[in-house]
């Protein structure tokens, strides 16, 4: 098996795991507690409680037409992975529901843990270039037809679903819980895709760049890159040092730079993911 084939197989396996996690989050937390957190799953939750149609069937009934509309308007760029995720999540929600426990009937706990589990699932799918269809695709189609950004289209769709759920269930509180779930889901998706921000990037401007760089290389065993910069006030060229370190090394770096050059200008910023020597290996 070639590397490419193994990589593709691994991505599909992780998409499958992510989709099943998403389905589990719906079955264990959101659907049993009537939390319609936007999107196709939110519509399916409303239909389930008002018309008693299984959640997965409604999701499939909405997603499949969206998929073919997407092919027509957006091309095959999202292709097979989208169809794979769409079918698996629709089947998984209904097939897994009878076998999964409902850990809580507290809507606050359900909205929190449901948002986290669904966020981990969708983030895993996105990280492996997959999708579960739904309102992301609908928003892209709306964007293609009208002069509405994808973000605005998503907001309009999700807000409409939440308002509809509040009316259908006769509860403003459930709508507020749904908003909390959407926020948590989005945040967790970002964390899964970008990492936990365990590293820091340091930009250092000093009159003693050589000494600072040598100290970082020898004492901290971290790499340093010199970037060419220019002070716009003085018009003078100035080298800027760039180094990436772990959070645990930040204090050491600051103390080291301050000892060599107390007047050094240091900028620290979060780095969500680092691949390479001294950090994570590329998968």
pLDDT at residue 139, as a whole number: 65
What is the spatial distance between Cα 54 and Cα 15, in angstroms, rounded to a whole number?
Answer: 23
Please report the pLDDT score of residue 283 as a whole number.
47
Q: Is the pLDDT of residue 282 over 80?
A: no
Strand 199-205 vs strand 237-246: parallel, antiparallel, or unpaired? Answer: antiparallel
The neighbouring-strand residues paired with 241 are: 204, 226
pLDDT at position 128 is 84
Per-chain mean pLDDT for the chain: 86
Q: 123 or 281: whose pLDDT is higher?
A: 123
Identify the band that residue 1 occupies on the pLDDT scale cut at 50, 70 and 90: very low
The model's confidence at residue 256, banded by pLDDT at 50, 70 and 90, is very high
pLDDT for residue 217: 93
Predicted confidence band of residue 233 (pLDDT cuts 50, 70, 90): confident
Collapsing DSSP to helix, strand or coil, 245 comes out as strand
Report whether CATH 1.10.357.20 matches the domain 199-271: no
Q: For the residues 44-64, what does the mean pLDDT come to?
A: 94
List Cα–Cα distances, 88 to 21, 57, 119, 176, in angstroms.
Answer: 11, 12, 17, 29
Asked if residue 263 lies in contact with residue 246, where contact means CB atoms within 8 angstroms, the answer is no
Lowest-confidence range among 59-73, 113-127, 236-250? Answer: 59-73
Quick check: 124 and 21 in contact, CB under 8 A?
yes
- The pLDDT assigned to 156 comes to 82
- List Cβ neighbours of 74 (8 Å cut-off, separation of 6 or more): 140, 141, 144
Where do the domains of the chain lie?
Answer: 3-194, 199-271
53 vs 230, higher pLDDT: 53
Q: Please give the pLDDT value at position 248.
A: 78
Global confidence as pTM: 0.75
Higher per-residue pLDDT: 94 or 190: 94
How does pLDDT run across 156-197, given as a tens digit for each residue? 888 899 999 999 999 999 999 999 999 999 889 888 877 666
């Amino acid at each position: 098996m070639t590397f490419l084939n193994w990589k593709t197989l691994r991505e599909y396996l992780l998409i499958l795991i992510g989709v099943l996690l998403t389905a589990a989050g719906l079955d264990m937390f959101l659907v049993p507690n009537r939390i319609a957190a936007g999107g196709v799953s939110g519509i399916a939750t409303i239909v389930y409680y008002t018309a008693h149609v299984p959640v997965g069937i409604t999701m499939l009934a909405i997603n499949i037409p969206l998929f073919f509309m997407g092919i027509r308007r957006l091309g095959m760029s999202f292709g097979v992975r989208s169809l794979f995720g769409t079918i698996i999540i629709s089947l998984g929600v209904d097939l897994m529901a009878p076998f999964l426990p409902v850990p809580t009937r507290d809507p606050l706990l359900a909205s929190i843990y449901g948002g986290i589990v669904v966020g981990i699932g969708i983030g895993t799918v996105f990280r492996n270039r997959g999708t579960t269809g739904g309102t992301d695709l609908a928003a892209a189609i709306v964007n293609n037809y009208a002069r509405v950004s994808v973000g605005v289209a998503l907001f309009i769709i999700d807000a409409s679903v939440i308002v509809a759920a509040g009316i259908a269930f006769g509860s403003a509180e459930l709508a507020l819980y749904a908003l909390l779930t959407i926020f948590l889901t989005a945040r967790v998706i970002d964390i899964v895709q970008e990492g936990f921000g365990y590293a820091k990037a340091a930009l250092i401007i000093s009159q003693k760049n050589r000494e600072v760089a040598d100290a970082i290389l020898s004492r901290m065993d971290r790499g340093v890159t010199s970037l060419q910069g220019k002070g716009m006030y003085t018009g003078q060229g100035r080298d800027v040092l760039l180094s990436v370190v772990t959070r645990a090394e930040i204090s050491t770096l600051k103390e080291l730079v301050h000892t060599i050059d107390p007047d050094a200008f240091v900028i620290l910023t979060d780095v969500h993911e680092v691949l390479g020597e001294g950090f994570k290996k590329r998968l």
